[in-house]
Every structure is written in structure tokens, then in C-alpha cells.
Amino acid sequence: MPRPVYFDCDTGIDDSMALAYLLASPEVELVGIGSVHGNVSAAQGAGNTLALLQLAGRGDVPVAVGCGDPLVGEFAGGAPHVHGSNGIGEIEVELDEAARMPVAEDAADMLLRLSNEHPGELEIIAVGPLTNLAVALQRDPSLPERIVRVTAMGGAALVPGNITCVAEANIGHDPEAAQAVVSAAWPVTLVPLDTTLENVLEEADREKLCASRHPLTRAVGEMLDFYFDFYVAEYGRRCSALHDPLAAALAVGGMRPRVAPAVPVEVDVTDGPGRGQTVCDLRGQRQGPVDRPGANVRVVLATEGQLAPHMVERLLSFETVSPGVHAAV
Amino acid sequence: MPRPVYFDCDTGIDDSMALAYLLASPEVELVGIGSVHGNVSAAQGAGNTLALLQLAGRGDVPVAVGCGDPLVGEFAGGAPHVHGSNGIGEIEVELDEAARMPVAEDAADMLLRLSNEHPGELEIIAVGPLTNLAVALQRDPSLPERIVRVTAMGGAALVPGNITCVAEANIGHDPEAAQAVVSAAWPVTLVPLDTTLENVLEEADREKLCASRHPLTRAVGEMLDFYFDFYVAEYGRRCSALHDPLAAALAVGGMRPRVAPAVPVEVDVTDGPGRGQTVCDLRGQRQGPVDRPGANVRVVLATEGQLAPHMVERLLSFETVSPGVHAAV
């Protein structure tokens, strides 16, 4: 039986890759998807998600629009320089208008409903700012009792941030929400830049995706063209980090953590230079990873092997694993 | 001609090693030493410094007592678990009472006076909290014009702190002073835990120091016995980091930095979890160190080679380089 997953995203090029990976993964079933402000507006994120689901022939997966603004402050316009003005690298997806409606409930309500429909079974994979999760916690503080695990792409433990010196985008775009999520009584697996920047997709990988017969895999390959340009400044060549897909692959079990201690984590919600930082207590880890008693957040600092080969393999195997896909190809 | 140096310290076992190194270094002349709260009280730090100078036969170097408390808050009792209750690993140094008086001026005034006596020549090596430097800047904001360079042991850029998750002791014990120093208009070389923890003195090195005929070198070797015990928790064996001596060796030129970009640095002076962190903007350095235009703080992230052999060699060569020493041996 596939494990039920609620996916929370700000779709986004790497969100798209994570979504394609999850749709191609027989281990999990996407029972609902919520959008959130971040790389794009929450509305754009939902629209992009619906478009990608249509390409996969998976119009059955419900999509809810989530929070358009962080708990404090307002959506600041996203990251068009990273993800393109439409969030998916300027590629155009022709949509069947009838298929593109989000559900009526908002993302936080969808998450709460799903948690009640799958108590003790539902897993959360969150690859955008954590606003929807925080709002769900506000509306029903008992939510953690029904959730197996939260896997969140976000933060920077021992590497620089990507929107400030120390803040990574998902956490930095809503530090208050992130602090609510890491301090709630559920197990959190945090997948920070420390490891996502070390898992890299190369041009040869991208070309394989572009050569796929599957329209979603091909679309992911095509939108990565834009993303690869952005990462030249970081890596000195056209390639990309695998932020959101790594969180998805770790949650699914397709990738395993190599160094991932459970340690106290606090998100900096001050207005100082540390705002948005995931302050992880990684002292005393020189002789090897040590779990700290009572810590509910596991911080993935390194993975076993590289994600790219597994990711490419899974996205190319799409047709054989997802029964809903064949109609769309 | 040796370069004139003002040395600011909270003496301390590694401060003692740094002091011995500076006394043994013909490249520099210690024209004054100020003590500051930190590992021990400012008064104890001055007393320890005078005792060590006596062992070296260098009662000619003036020692001033500096600030006993940080700019905000109060001295919290130091680090007896690291440095021993007397700051020098419980070793006893018999003092000639006549030789052990600090000068009448305080450390900040001494620094200002020396800067006027050696304008454009004086270098500062600071291995404790930066309170004295901050107070000197308050008393005379033109101080930086007369200073060649400040080399400060402190901070943690991409590694955990040692008094909080993110704060290193020297910076964390007076964040407001550190912020004043890094934002003043002088070149600062910051020597953080990133590199001091990677420069390690081993038991075999310590035994060489203990076997020296020079009383100061021998005293340093003996006090390290206490320090080595503390570092078992960090390294899993008896050894020690070379915090303060590394700053001294980099300032003197006995060691060279390998990775040391000049980047914007801000000290977190909030009351949040980041208080005392040296927030260094190290984004965009993946392809090699890049100096950021206008940045006055050079952050040493790695050194060329290891300090220990050079440190041991210099402390064992004491008798041949320091004319004041022979009388004391």
C-alpha cells in the first residue's frame, strides 16, 4: 500500500521536479497538494501544480490554494530570476480549462481534513515556506498527533543562506511559521542547503529528461534550462542544485541520509541579521553524528550517494509505474 | 625593526601560549598588553600576564588592567572548566611581588597612548572579548587612522559556536563591542573557530614544551595538561585547539591564511538565538575565495599548513631570539 502524502509547494522549477518524482514513486500516494507563497504567488503555484498534474494525467489529485502571505509581512514577489516569471522557467503548458480548478478549501483546511482521514498515516512533504502548516497548527493544535512525519526542504545549518547571509528562502520567507513547525510535537526532517547544494543535476541529466516521451518529464527537463542559467553563478557551469527533489526523495526513501543528527533547532525570528536562520545546535558532532535527547528535528547534513542518477531514473521510468500516466502520453 | 604590537588578552591557557609565541617572535615587539574579562576576570588576566612576563624575564612590558565587564551586562565568571580556576590550568607561578604591578592607566587608555606614540605603525592583536578596543573607539573615534591592522581571535563563520550554537566565546561575551570593532574603519583579520579548531596541538607537542629549559615554555606545556583534558570531549583524545596562538601567528606572519576572503561581517546583537554570532556573508564563495568590495574584515577560514610544528619550534627557540630571556632561565 502506498503511504498517503500531503505535498505543500510553491511551484517553482525544483518543486516541479519534486512533484514529478512523487508522482513517479509507487511508495507514496499524493492525497492532496497545497500551494503557498514563495517562489511564486500561492495562486500561481496552484495553477502551475494543476498544469503539471494534467501533463501527468493526474487530474485526480486535489490542489488547494494556500496562504498568499507569510504570518508576518507580505509576499514580496517571489524569485522570477531563479524560476522565471511564471515559476516554471517560462515554459508554456496548454491547459484543459475544465481540469485546472483548485478545490474550494484552503491548503491548511485540506491538510487538517486529510490528517483526519488518514490519522497516524499521513506524511507531510513541504518544499515551500511553512505558512500553511503553521496555520493548520493554529487551527488545530492536535494535528501533530495524526501525522507520521514532516519532511521539509529548508534552512542552512553550516553553510551560507541563499536569501541572506544565513537565511534560506523557504525558512527566510516565513521564519515565524518555520519556528511554529519545528517546535510542534511531530518528527521533522529538515533538508537544508548543506546537502541540497551538494546534490547536483548536470546538463547530461537534463538532456535525458528532455528526450523522454513522457510530457511531464520532458516539461521538467525543459524548464530546467532556465534554472541552469541561474546556477552558473553558484557552480561555474550550467547545472542545478536539487533542493526540493532531495526532500521528496528522502521522504519517499529513494535516498538515505548519511549524516542527519536529531538536534535542537530554533528559527531566528528577530529583526537582526540572523532573521530566518535555522539555528541548529550542532556542537559536539566532530566525532560523528550524535542525536540529542528529546530533539524532534533531524537535520540532514549529507546523503548516501547522489540524487541525480536516482531522480533521472525515476522520472524516465514514469510510464511503467504510474497507471494514470499512460492516457496522457 | 620589529613591528610594535598592542596585545589584548584574557589570560587564559591559549592566551598564555599566544603571549609566549609573541615574546619569542623577533618580528614584533610587545609595546603594551591590556587585560580584559573573558576566560578570567580582567584583574586575574593581568596578574597571569605579569606572572608569565616574569617567567620570560620581560618585566619591561607594561600591562594594563582593562574592562572587567562587557559593554552590556556583567562578567559571568569566566571558564574555569576550560582554563582552571586561576586561568592558567592551576599551575602556580611564584611571583616577585615588586614585578607584578599593572600600570596605572587602563587598557583602553594604554591602547590610545600607544597609537599616538606609534601612529601608522601600531598593530593590535586581540584574543579576548573586544571590550577594551570598543571603549578605546568610544573615547577616540580617530583611533583606526593610527592602527595598521586588528587581528582578533573570535567568531564562528560556518561551524558551530562554543558558548551557544552559533556564538564563539570572545565575540559572544561582548557582542556589542565586537560589532563596534568590525564596523570601525580599520582592517580586521578575524580568526574564527572554523580554522582554530583545525589547528591542533598534540600530546607529543606538549611534552616537547614541558621538556624545555625555558621556564615560560615549560609553564605553557604544564598548563596545557588541564586544557587537554577539556578537549577530550571535542576531539576524543587529549590535545587542544590553537585558538589564540593562531591569531598571533597569523598577525606575526609565522602562519599564512589559505582561505580568507574579505566579506561583510555583522555581529548579532539581538537577544535572539543568534546573539553573539559573527554573521559573515560567505555567499558566492563556492568557486574559490572572493573579496567583496569595501569589506574591511578578512575572515580566515583555513590556513596554509598546521600551526603546531611552527608554534613548538618557536617556543623551543625562545632562548636564542629574545635577549631579555637569558637572565630568567
Q: Does residue A321 belong to the interface with chain B, where contact is any CB pair within 8 Å? A: no
Q: Say what the pLDDT of residue B329 is.
A: 34
Confidence band of A99 (pLDDT split at 50, 70, 90): low
φ, ψ of residue B223 in degrees (nearest 5): -70, -25
Q: Which helix (H) or strand (E) holds A281?
A: none
Cis bond upstream, residue A12 (ω within 30): yes
**A217-235 pLDDT per residue, tens:** 999 999 999 999 999 999 9
Confidence band of B292 (pLDDT split at 50, 70, 90): very high
Residue A235: burial class (beta carbons within 10 Å; 0-12, 13-18, 19+)? middle
Pairing of strands B188-191, B147-153: parallel
- Minimum Cα–Cα distance from B269: chain A residue: A272
Contact at CB, B166 and A287, closer than 8 angstroms: no
**B230-248 pLDDT per residue, tens:** 999 999 999 999 999 999 9
Mean pLDDT along residues B85-90:
96
Contact B84, B13 (CB under 8 A): yes
pLDDT higher at B66 or B324: B66
Q: What is the rounded distance in angstroms from the CA atom of residue B255 to the CA atom of residue B40?
A: 27
For chain A, the domains span: 3-328
- Reply yes or no on whether the pLDDT at A328 is more than 50: no
How many Cβ atoms from other residues are within 10 Å of residue B45's Cβ?
32
Q: What is the rounded distance in angstroms from the CA atom of residue B243 to the CA atom of residue B308?
A: 11
Contact A35, A46 (CB under 8 A): yes
Contact at CB, B166 and A274, closer than 8 angstroms: yes
Q: Say what the pLDDT of residue B320 is.
A: 54
Cis bond upstream, residue B12 (ω within 30): yes
H-type helices in chain A, by residue range?
Answer: 13-23, 42-55, 80-83, 107-117, 131-139, 169-172, 175-182, 193-196, 203-210, 215-235, 243-252, 307-316, 318-321
φ, ψ of residue B85 in degrees (nearest 5): -65, -25
Contact at CB, A266 and B273, closer than 8 angstroms: yes
- Reply yes or no on whether the pLDDT at B169 is more than 60: yes
Q: Does residue A160 belong to the interface with chain B, where contact is any CB pair within 8 Å? A: yes
Q: Say what the pLDDT of residue A324 is.
A: 46
Q: Say what the pLDDT of residue A95 is.
A: 77
Pairing of strands B278-280, B265-267: antiparallel
Mean pLDDT along residues A296-300:
98
Three-state DSSP class for A153? Answer: strand
Confidence band of B95 (pLDDT split at 50, 70, 90): confident
Contact at CB, A165 and B287, closer than 8 angstroms: no
Residue A29: burial class (beta carbons within 10 Å; 0-12, 13-18, 19+)? middle
Q: Does residue B235 belong to the interface with chain A, where contact is any CB pair within 8 Å? A: yes
| Residue A173 DSSP one-character state | T
Chain B environment of A270 (Cβ under 8 Å) = 270-272, 274
Mean pLDDT along residues B187-204:
98
| Residue that has been written with the C-alpha cell 599564512 in this structure | B256
Q: What is the rounded distance in angstroms from the CA atom of residue A126 to the CA atom of residue A148?
A: 14
Q: What is the rounded distance in angstroms from the CA atom of residue B197 to the CA atom of residue A89?
A: 43
CA dist list (Å): B246 to A193, A302, B80, B254, B308: 30, 30, 22, 9, 9
Nearest-Cα distance to chain B for A164, in Å, is 8
Encode burial over B147-168: b for 16+ CB neighbours within 10 A, e otherwise.
bbebbbbbbbbbbbbbbbbbbb
Chain A to chain B Cβ contacts (< 8 Å): 82
No. of helices (H) and no. of strands (E), chain A? 13, 13
Contact at CB, A287 and B161, closer than 8 angstroms: no
- Minimum Cα–Cα distance from A263: chain B residue: B165
Chain B environment of A280 (Cβ under 8 Å) = 165
Cα B114 to the center of its chain, rounded Å? 18
H-type helices in A65-214, by residue range?
Answer: 80-83, 107-117, 131-139, 169-172, 175-182, 193-196, 203-210
Q: What is the rounded distance in angstroms from the CA atom of residue A157 to the CA atom of residue A191?
A: 10
Residue B58: burial class (beta carbons within 10 Å; 0-12, 13-18, 19+)? buried
Q: What is the rounded distance in angstroms from the CA atom of residue B149 to the CA atom of residue A219?
A: 55
Contact A12, A46 (CB under 8 A): no
H-type helices in A26-174, by residue range?
Answer: 42-55, 80-83, 107-117, 131-139, 169-172
- ipTM entry: 0.93
Q: Does residue B288 belong to the interface with chain A, where contact is any CB pair within 8 Å? A: no
- Compute the 3-state secondary structure of chain B and give helix, strand, coil in percent, each to the nearest 5: 40, 15, 45
Q: Which of A79-83, B98-102, B134-138 has the lowest mean pLDDT?
A: B98-102
Q: Which of B197, B266, B270 best tests the A interface by mutation, with the highest count of A CBs <10 A?
A: B270
Closest CA to A221 of A205, A234, A237, A197: A205
Q: What is the rounded distance in angstroms from the CA atom of residue B40 to the CA atom of residue B32?
A: 19
Closest CA to A200 of B132, B191, B286: B286
Nearest-Cα distance to chain A for B281, in Å, is 5
Q: At what angle do helices A107-117 and A131-139 cross, to 10 degrees?
A: 60
- Reply yes or no on whether the pLDDT at B318 is more than 90: no
Q: Say what the pLDDT of residue A326 is.
A: 39
- Among residues A37, A118, A173, A243, which one is catalytic? A243
Q: Is A10 a catalytic residue?
A: yes
In the structure grid, which three cell numbers stand for residue A296, read together? 524532534
- Reply yes or no on whether the pLDDT at A323 is more than 90: no
Q: Say what the pLDDT of residue A96 is.
A: 78
**B214-230 pLDDT per residue, tens:** 999 999 999 999 999 99
Domain B3-328 part of CATH 3.90.245.10? yes
Contact at CB, A264 and B158, closer than 8 angstroms: no
**B17-56 pLDDT per residue, tens:** 999 999 999 999 999 999 999 999 999 999 999 999 999 9
Q: Say what the pLDDT of residue A327 is.
A: 38
How many Cβ atoms from other residues are within 10 Å of residue A317's Cβ?
16
**A84-96 pLDDT per residue, tens:** 999 999 999 877 7
Q: What is the rounded distance in angstroms from the CA atom of residue A258 to the CA atom of residue A225?
A: 30
Encode burial over B136-146: b for 16+ CB neighbours within 10 A, e otherwise.
bbeebeebbeb
Encode burial over B62-90: b for 16+ CB neighbours within 10 A, e otherwise.
bbbbbbbbbbeeebeebbeebbbebbbbe
Contact B213, B316 (CB under 8 A): no
Contact at CB, B165 and A282, closer than 8 angstroms: yes
Q: What is the rounded distance in angstroms from the CA atom of residue B329 to the CA atom of residue B5?
A: 25
Encode burial over A66-101: b for 16+ CB neighbours within 10 A, e otherwise.
bbbbbbeeebeebbeebbbebbbbebebeeeeeebe
- Reply yes or no on whether the pLDDT at B321 is more than 90: no
Q: Which of A270, A275, A287, A292 best tests the B interface by mutation, with the highest count of B CBs <10 A?
A: A270
DSSP string, A119-130: TTTEEEEE-S-S
Contact at CB, B160 and A287, closer than 8 angstroms: no
Nearest-Cα distance to chain B for A64, in Å, is 35
Average pLDDT value for chain B:
95
**A162-211 pLDDT per residue, tens:** 999 999 999 999 999 999 999 999 999 999 999 999 999 999 999 999 99
Contact at CB, A274 and B272, closer than 8 angstroms: yes
- Reply yes or no on whether the pLDDT at B69 is more than 90: yes
Nearest-Cα distance to chain B for A212, in Å, is 32
Q: Say what the pLDDT of residue A141 is.
A: 98
Q: Does residue A280 belong to the interface with chain B, where contact is any CB pair within 8 Å? A: yes
Q: Does residue B282 belong to the interface with chain A, where contact is any CB pair within 8 Å? A: yes
In the structure grid, which three cell numbers stand for residue A180, read together? 511554529
Nearest-Cα distance to chain B for A196, in Å, is 14
How many Cβ atoms from other residues are within 10 Å of residue B132's Cβ?
32
Contact at CB, A274 and B268, closer than 8 angstroms: yes
DSSP string, B142-156: TGGGGEEEEEEE---
Q: Which residues of B are catalytic?
A: 10, 243
